[in-house]
Every structure is written in C-alpha cells, then in structure tokens.
Chain A
Amino acid sequence: MLRGWSLREEGAKGVAIATLSTLVVLALLVVAATRSPYWPQVKESFFSREVFAESFPNILSVFVRNIAYFLAAEPVILAFALLLAVLRSLRGPAFFPLRLMATIYVDVFRGIPTVLVVYTLGFGLPALQIPGLPVAGWFWGLIGLILSYSAYVAEVYRAGIESVHPSQSAAARALGLGRWATLRYVVIPQAVRRVVPPLMNDFISLQKDTALIAFVSGFNPEVFLQAQIESAATFNFTPLLGAALCFLVITIPMTRFTDWLLERQRRRRQTGTVA
C-alpha cells in the first residue's frame, strides 16, 4: 500500500534502522529550530497553545461548510465533465459544433486560474441583482469551482475514453448496438474504471480548493475565512494552522487511498488482469 516508504519487505532490522534514523533526523531538526534566536517568536505566532484552544472549535464548526461545498460540487462535476468528455470524443462532421464548443470550454476553463473564476462569479453575479438568481457569494463561488474543475475532470475522462481500444467499439457495433449504446455500455464503464485514481487526485484538489470560497463567502465564512478572522482578532497565525489541520485530516487519508488504488491497478496490469 504505502509504496515508496513501506518497510514491509525490509524485516525487523530494517524497521529498527529506519526508526532510529528518523528519530535522529527529527531530533536534529527540532534542536536546530528551537535553538534559533527567533524560535520564541515563531512559537508564539504559529504554535500558540492558548490561541489554538480558543480558536479551533470555531474553525472546526465552519469546516462542515467546506465539506458540504465539496459534497455538493463533486457529483455535479462528475456528471458535467462526463458530458463534456463524451461531446469531445464524438466523431463525424455532424458533431463538429458540439465538439468545438466542448473543446473551447475545456481550453478556456483550464486556462484560467480557479481563484479568478471563483472571485469573478462570487462578486460579479450577486452584484447584478438578477431576479430569481441566488445572491449569496458562496453559491456563485461554488459554481465557479464546478465550472473550473469540470474542465480538468473532462480531460481525465477523455483520456480514459481514448484508452479503450477501438476494437471494443467495433465489437459492440458489430453486435448491432448503436453509437450511444456502445458508449454507455461498453466504452464509458471501462473508461471510468481506468481513471478512478486520477479522478481521486482531482477530488483531493477540490477538497482543498473549497478554501477559495473564502474570498466570496461574506457572512457565511468557511474554514479559511474563519481562520483569518480568528487570526486578525488575536494577532496570531495559529488559527491558520488549525485550518490546515482540518484539511489534512481529510486529504491525507484520501491520498493514501488513491495510492492504494493505483498500486492495485498496477498489480492487476502486471498479472494481466484487465482493470
């Protein structure tokens, strides 16, 4: 599972050596850092126990918003990106306009910094006061995240679709299945299976990038904005570390899970099993 730093194959002696050298390196780093003349200032600004104890509950309580943003955005992104990828992989002159539109969309949104999309929509659209449309900045910020991430995820899907050998489509068409049935039952299921690990990487990025909504969330602070507020109130950066901790608790297990998926896929390929 933890390929790259797994000790499983090295035996007890290997584990002992690894543990010892890790401890030595850590001790040296701690000694070097704490003996620096600036250490007391650094410790007080970033690692203040009192500030942490005071601010962390507030930070944690708004982190549910980040999780909610992520949970709301991800299914929409998965569906919209699949649509974009399918449009881009359609062949034949009749589909040229659709293919062109999907291509332009992906080029544009992959080419713009996500923060710019979130900021522009989050401030721009509520300012228009269009009747019937939500005016909450966080809502439009979330739409911005969806638009931006859909472009990336569409490319991941497209790579998956193109990795399915044309003989699979030929076999399906030869059985009398139409273009759409072939995509739906034969190509897309195989494509999606292959791109689960890269999709997971995009999930992890999205989870982190929900912090971008801080710029447009106004009176509904999410974790990053709340940490900024706490930080400003205490003249201390410790709350920002609290926010970082919230993300790590989610992203590290997701990263490990992705590694495990990749490793499993690699093993299956080696044994000749089709993933």
Chain B
Amino acid sequence: MTEAIRIEGLHKRFGDVEVLRGIDLTVEEHRVVCLIGASGSGKSTLLRCINLLEPVDAGSIRIHGRDITERGVDRDLVRRQVGIVFQAFNLFPHMTALRNVTLAPRKVLRLSRAEADERAHELLGRFGLDEKAGEYPDRLSGGQQQRLAIIRALAMEPSIMLLDEITSALDPELVAEVLDVLRGLASAGMTMVIATHEMGFARDVAHHVCFLDAGRILEQGTPEQIFSAPREERTRRFLDRIIAAGRM
C-alpha cells in the first residue's frame, strides 16, 4: 500500500501554548483514520496543519511522498489535493449552493462555467441536494449545509479529505445524514482523516483510530483494539466518560 500522508515529529504552538507536541502519523491510501480525544487535545490543529492553514513549527508532513512543509511549496496546489470540511460549515453566505460548489473549480481549476455547473449538479444530485442548487445556505438545514460543504470540497476532486468534527454543530437528528455521506465516501475508497466525537461511527468506519491527548498521539490501533482493549489509562478514562455521556 502506498502512503497518502506521513507526518513526522510535528510540533505546533500558539504563543506559549504548545498544541501539538510531536505527532507521528501515517495514513495509507484509501484508508479512514479517526482522531478521537477531548476538546483541546489538538485534533483540529492537526487537520489544519495538514491543509497548511496553520504553519508548522517543527517536523514534516508528506503528502503522496512530497514534503509540503518545505519552503517554496505552492500551498494552493497542496490544498487542491487535500480537501477540508469544518465544524461550522463555513459556506459562503452570499452565493447559492451551486455557486458555493463551482467557485473553486472555476477560479482555481479554470473550468468553464458550463463544465463546473455540470460537475456540481452531478455531485449535488449524488448527495440528494440538486433541488437546492439555487438556494442560499441560510435556507438549508444544518445537515444540508454540512453536506453542501462536503460537496464543495469534493468538487475539487481531492485525493485526501480532512473532516474536522463536522457533526458537532448539528442537531442530533441531522447527524445521521452527514455520517451516511462519509460512509459512502469511505466505501468509494476516499482517503480520510476524521476528527470526531461520534465513537459509534468511528468504530464502524475507521480502519485506524488515534487517541490524542495533550498534543500527542497517546495510543493508536484498530477500532477493536482502541475501543475494546485500550492499553492506556487515559484512553480508558476518556472512553468511560464518552460512554457515561451516552455517546457510544
């Protein structure tokens, strides 16, 4: 199997706070990796570093073998390959659903309007949103908005998708429709790194689970291993709290 992402010795600090303290992680192509851990453990920051939204302080990130943390790397080129979806959707409120999806293909990939529209309609249709193509984001439900954000990222045909707690801002009854989209992507072979609090989903879909604690990957392994037989005391306590909160 070939490596999609290889991260070595990644450090990131915001002022005095060291958020990532030496992350090593390898993600193989067509694999789904779930990052679990308490809020503030560094999951989001790690994803934002992989997309170069945050400059890293030390260590390296390789995407398909190429070090993207080197000087002179074209960030926009990296971002075309690595799509990211955020917890708060971050859709463009002044554009219709269709325009949200076609903006980057047209301006970055230089597709014609007709080509971009065709591709967008195809994607919107596949995820059940084509009839909402002309609507503005504020007319969509939370689940529809998040699906639209996923489609917007997919329209760039990335080889890797990063998903940052994308169901955390949704009402519970809307979570399923978004997770179903991810299941579909996973079975289609998309390489994904998913930060999530949905343990049931992680157990189902992930090939590999990483437990982050205070900026380090404290424990990683298959879902069975992490959820059924965690080695670390902290992992066990975290999972106990999740179970107590009724989220698994």
Contacts and interface: CB of A to CB of B under 8 A. Distances in A.
A147 B84 CA distance: 43
A193 B53 contact: no
B192 interface: no
B53 A173 contact: yes
A178 to B, nearest CB: 6
Interface stretch (B13-21, B65-73, B103-111): B103-111
Given A174-B51, A175-B108, A177-B103, A168 B86 contact: no
A174 B94 contact: no
B123 interface: no
Contacts of A176: 76-77, 79-80, 104, 108, 156
A168 B108 contact: no
Contact of B93 (A173, A177, A178, A190): A190
B11 interface: no
Interface stretch (A181-189, A195-203, A244-252): A181-189
B86 A274 contact: no
Given A185-B103, A272-B138, A177 B90 contact: no
Nearest to B162: A174
A96 B84 CA distance: 31
B197 interface: no
Contacts of B190: none
B104 A175 contact: yes
Contact of B79 (A175, A189, A274): A175
B10 to A, nearest CB: 19
A168 B92 contact: yes
A139 B79 CA distance: 50
A167 interface: yes
A77 B174 CA distance: 47
Contact of A175 (B77, B137, B152): B152
A274 B138 contact: yes
Contacts of B83: 174-175
B138 A273 contact: yes
Contacts of B75: 173
A189 B90 CA distance: 15
B90 A185 contact: no
Interface string A203-241: 000000000000000000000000000000000000000
Given A176-B80, A190-B94, A171 B103 contact: no
A48 to B, nearest CB: 54
Contact of B86 (A171, A177, A186, A273): A171
Of the candidates B51, B104, B153, the one having the most CB atoms from chain A within 10 angstroms of its own CB is B104
A167 B152 contact: no
Contacts of B51: 174
B88 interface: yes
A170 interface: yes
A274 B139 CA distance: 10
A193 to B, nearest CB: 7
Contacts of B94: 189-190, 193, 274
Contacts of B86: 167, 170-171
B138 A175 contact: no
A170 B91 CA distance: 11
A193 B94 CA distance: 9
A186 B83 CA distance: 18
Contacts of A181: 107-108
B79 to A, nearest CB: 4
Interface in B120-175: 137-138, 152-153, 156
Question: Which 8 pairs of residues, A with B, have the shortest CB-CB distance?
Answer: A171-B90, A175-B104, A274-B93, A176-B79, A176-B108, A176-B80, A174-B84, A167-B90
Interface of A: 167-168, 170-178, 181, 185-186, 189-190, 193, 272-274
11 contacts: A167-B86, A170-B53, A170-B90, A171-B92, A173-B53, A173-B79, A175-B108, A176-B108, A178-B76, A181-B107, A185-B103
Given A173-B76, A175-B152, A190-B94, 12 more contacts: A167-B86, A170-B86, A171-B90, A173-B53, A173-B75, A174-B53, A175-B83, A175-B104, A175-B153, A175-B156, A176-B104, A177-B108
Interface of B: 51, 53, 75-77, 79-80, 83-84, 86, 88, 90-94, 103-104, 107-108, 137-138, 152-153, 156
